[in-house]
Structure 1
Amino acid sequence: MKRHIFLATVLIVLAANPAMATTLPQWHKDLTYLSSEALAGRKAGSDTGAQAGDYVQKRLQQLGYQTQVQPFAFKQGFFQQGQGRNIISNDCLQNCVVISAHYDHLGHSGHNYYPGANDNASGVAAILYLAEQLHPLRKHITFAAFDAEENGLHGAKHFVENKDHDAVRLNINLDMLNLPRANSRLFFYTREPLCPMAKTHLDNSPIKTQLTRSNRSINRRLDGERIDWLRASDHWAFARQKLPFIFVTAADAPHYHQTSDTLAQIHGKRYTQTLQLLTQFIGELLGAHCDDFHVRE
């Protein structure tokens, strides 16, 4: 489906339901577009993948951020090279907390495409939400939408390898945030000590959370494949360079890498609570009560 057909469909829906135009939260609008057929699965190196990056950049600029496009090349198959594009806010110059999410996905196969609503439009919509909520802290935060994660974390690796390590205080990486079931948990996987004030938000959250330091504690709550969560997403690019990280994921992803990973599978209430929790958690983490990562003027 071409972009104009998708937009026409949206207009028809809104015309039939005029209240939707004003009542839909911005995260829902972001998720709707990023997982739409118009973007055909956001494959790294594709035209629609670039359009997804353009969308993220425009949204950050609308929120008052300075941005840059960070191009890079990555291996694509045995003999081809792809061209990726990281979208980076650059209001923070040193001692930055990098809040990241990858915006690429699997693209399409024949007439079918992979929407990637949970993986990882949910993470991208979250960084856009956080960019708005945490705008007063913009000189201490870098928002990073990484490309080519699905191909081997290439965007995150390029960012880290071309960044002064002294400029990175902490990476908070968001990947697959949907909580599909009432007993699903949001995991905060880190090797770093967290101050009690930040952990209090996790303990008092309306959604189930778990602070963990090992693969075992995540995997034992999931059925099926045993996953190395340390290397599962872009935070690994930071960890391998001995930079501190917090990986936030629901892990429970029944539609992982399937064409059924659609907006309809996102549980709106729990996702909203997740966004609110992340805002409180990160705000507290950077606040004066937390000595490990709080911002210093």
Structure 2
Amino acid sequence: MQTRRIFLKMLFGLGAFTLPWIGFDNKLKAAIEPLMKQPKVKLYVVPPEAQTIYEYFQSASLNRTAMDDILALSSPEMEGRRTGQAGEGRASQYLSRELSMLGLKPMGDNDKSYAHAFTIHEVKETFVGNRLTFTVGNPDHLRAPSLNILGGLKGDTEEIILVSAHYDHLGIFEGQLYPGANDNASGVGCVLDVIRRLVRENTVPKKTLVFAFWSGEEMGFLGSKAFVRNPSFPLDRIKAVINVDTIGNGMIGNFGLWADDKAGIAVEAVQKAAAEVSASAMVVSGNGHNSDQLTFAKAGIPAVTLLAREWLENNHTTQDTMGIVKREQVELATEIIYRAVKNLAF
């Protein structure tokens, strides 16, 4: 009975599991599936060798890859992950579930939640060339809720290395889905894969590691700005920020860095890691573009963003699909971030 209660609590409480239907006839599936809303959940039969249901789902999370994450987050069910809309909610559930299954400590608004809540103002859609972007709408209109998602691996000290990626994208506009596979499901998958690798190693870091997934980046870094205004831990604990954005396309091993001249410790760690895997990671101009590292740089925290040099190709278009994301490039970016994190935190 206790096992049954645990099972039901996990299935209906966490929600949004992407799991295969096994052993259920079509009538039962038809009866249950409408109750589960979107995205459709599917039910696992826990194998007898699994000691607990939690252990089974943790194993499933550990065995996922960055490409699995990118595929899930850019799927039609996520509706383009626009901040403040249903697709963003599904993506935030996906991320919270992964952090929970991987055993990370909640670092959101309280010690039991991965969610850091904020609100967004109205925005309007506009095209710059063929690229869809947002501009500020009426600030007096009702604001919509949104969530950053944060989890941590506690270290020996209170000092923090923050690793982040934004998970929002552009949503659906004029009936067209903007999947955001490279921007920025690729960065999210990269960070999740770094977490999985560290969890498998089961080594306590010297510095505490916080992994953050920002929303509202496409609307002007709203999520990271909200966090800096209302942090869930003191900002002076953060010693460096490594942000990951649009890393999945372009020439293999050809990366760029966005950083200011005060980001020394963060830039050095990423460049050292890139050199170790024979990749390029030069500081380059964004030519008016930027990412969430800027929010932390303005707060006086060393911060850098890793991105593919060709990140702008198909960016903010309906062509930003799995087809432009290269597995080898994602794996290389993951290796770079992993090595940089090991350098800074262990």
Q: 2:140 aligned with 1:82, yes or no?
A: no
5+ long unaligned stretches in structure 2: 1-37, 43-59, 107-113, 123-136
- Say if 1:190 and 1:248 are closer, same or farther in 2 by CA, change over 3 A: farther
5+ long unaligned stretches in structure 1: 8-20, 213-217, 220-225, 288-297
Q: Which of 289, 296, 302 is the matching residue for 1:238?
A: 296
Q: 1:153: which partner in 2?
A: 221
Q: 1:227: which partner in 2?
A: 287
Contact map agreement 2:190 2:331 (CA 8 A) in 1: no
Aligned residues: 256
1:108-123 to 2 correspondence within 5 Å? 108-123=172-187
Q: Secondary structure at the match of 1:172?
A: strand
1:124-143 to 2 correspondence within 5 Å? 124-135=188-199, 136-137=203-204, 140-143=208-211
Q: 2:216 aligned with 1:180, yes or no?
A: no
Range with greater deviation from structure 2 (190-199 or 102-111): 190-199
Q: Counterpart amino acid of 1:101?
A: A
| In 2: Cα distance, 1:274 partner to 1:198 partner | 10
Question: Deviation per CA, 1:228-286, whole angstroms, max 9, x where unpaired?
Answer: 35xx1111111111111122111412010000000111011121122112211221233
Q: Which of 147, 158, 165 is the matching residue for 1:101?
A: 165
Range with greater deviation from structure 2 (235-244 or 33-42): 235-244
Q: 1:260: which partner in 2?
A: 319
TM-score normalised to the size of structure 2?
0.68
Q: Secondary structure at the match of 2:239?
A: strand
| In 2: Cα distance, 1:74 partner to 1:36 partner | 24
Q: 2:39: which partner in 1?
A: 3
Q: Counterpart amino acid of 1:244?
A: P
| In 2: Cα distance, 1:72 partner to 1:197 partner | 31
Question: Deviation per CA, 1:127-186, whole angstroms, max 9, x where unpaired?
Answer: 111112233356611111111111111110111122322221211111111232347334
| In 2: Cα distance, 1:182 partner to 1:69 partner | 34
Q: Secondary structure at the match of 2:163?
A: strand
- Say if 1:182 and 1:27 are closer, same or farther in 2 by CA, change over 3 A: closer
Range with greater deviation from structure 2 (48-57 or 109-118): 109-118
Q: 2:275: which partner in 1?
A: 203
- Post-superposition offset of 1:196: 7.2
Larger-Rg structure: 2
| In 1: Cα distance, 2:148 partner to 2:253 partner | 34
TM-score normalised to the size of structure 1?
0.78
- Say if 1:180 and 1:98 are closer, same or farther in 2 by CA, change over 3 A: same
Q: Counterpart amino acid of 2:161?
A: V
Q: Counterpart amino acid of 2:191?
A: I
Range with greater deviation from structure 2 (175-184 or 234-243): 175-184
| In 2: Cα distance, 1:197 partner to 1:173 partner | 13
Q: 1:193: which partner in 2?
A: 264
